């Protein structure tokens, strides 16, 4: 994980943003809770990339799907960002895990985390109700 202090590439409403192993943080905003939150996203990216690479290596052993295996190998680093952007359920899960780290740092309460997840991540009303998100913290 590489932490870079910058104002570039970070969406306006956030203090930090993760691109693969790189954590971009606005200057002066790097609190332990924020770094722990972003570390969680780096781990999510790494796990998705490893699973994608493992699946690609298996596919490359089968002649009929060899090309598919090669393509998956190339696109493995993009599995997490793709799922995060395209699936609100995945995004909700990823943010619950990230905010769990925020809570553990003692910088925010569970109420703060739920309110942030509800309002900051473009979740549909149906999947972003307070009780649904709160329940995910206890799974
Ligand atoms: Zn997050």
- What is the predicted pLDDT for the residue at 6? 97
pLDDT for the residue numbered 86: 95
Q: How far is the centre of ligand 1, averaged over its atoms, from the C-alpha of 101 (Å)?
A: 10
Q: What is the pLDDT of residue 41?
A: 98
- The kind and range of the H/E element at 61 are none
Cα–ligand 1 centroid distance for 54 (angstroms): 26
Query: What Å distances lie between residue 46 and 37, 38, 78, 94, CA to CA?
Result: 15, 12, 10, 13
Greatest Cα pair distance, the chain, in angstroms, is 53
Q: What radius of gyration, in Å, describes the C-alpha atoms of the chain?
A: 17
Average pLDDT over all residues of the chain:
94
User: What is the structure's pLDDT at 70?
Assistant: 95
Instruction: Say which residue, 51 or 129, is predicted with more confidence.
Output: 51
State the pLDDT confidence band at 134, using cuts at 50, 70 and 90: very high
| Residue whose entry in the numeric block shows the structure tokens 């995004």 | 91
pLDDT digits (tens, 9 = 90+) for 41-85: 999 999 999 999 999 999 999 999 999 999 999 999 999 999 999
Q: Ligand 1 centre and the CA of 17: distance in Å?
A: 8
pLDDT digits (tens, 9 = 90+) for 11-26: 998 999 999 999 999 9
Residue 73 and residue 83: Cα distance in Å, rounded? Answer: 16
100 CA to centre of ligand 1 in angstroms = 10
> What pTM, to 2 d.p., does this model score?
0.91
Sheet of strand 22-25: strand arrangement: 2-5, 22-25, 16-19
pLDDT at 109: 96
Ligand 1 centroid to 18 CA: how many Å?
Answer: 8
How far is ligand 1, taken at its centre, from the CA of residue 71, in Å?
28
Confidence band, pLDDT 50/70/90 cuts, at residue 3 = very high
> How many A from CA of 64 to the centre of ligand 1?
39
């Amino acid at each position: 994980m590489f932490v870079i202090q910058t104002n570039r590439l970070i969406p306006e409403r956030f203090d930090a943003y993760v691109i693969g192993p790189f954590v971009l943080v606005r200057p002066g905003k790097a609190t332990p809770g924020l770094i722990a939150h972003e570390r969680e996203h780096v781990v999510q990216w790494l796990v998705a990339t490893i699973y994608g690479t493992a699946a690609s290596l298996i596919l490359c052993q089968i002649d009929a799907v060899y090309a598919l295996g090669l393509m998956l190998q190339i696109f493995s680093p993009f599995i997490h960002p793709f799922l995060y952007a395209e699936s609100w359920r995945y995004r909700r899960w990823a943010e619950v895990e990230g905010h769990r780290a925020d809570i553990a740092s003692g910088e925010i309460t569970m109420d703060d985390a739920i309110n942030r997840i509800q309002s900051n991540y473009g979740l549909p009303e149906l999947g972003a109700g307070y009780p649904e998100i709160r329940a995910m913290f206890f799974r």
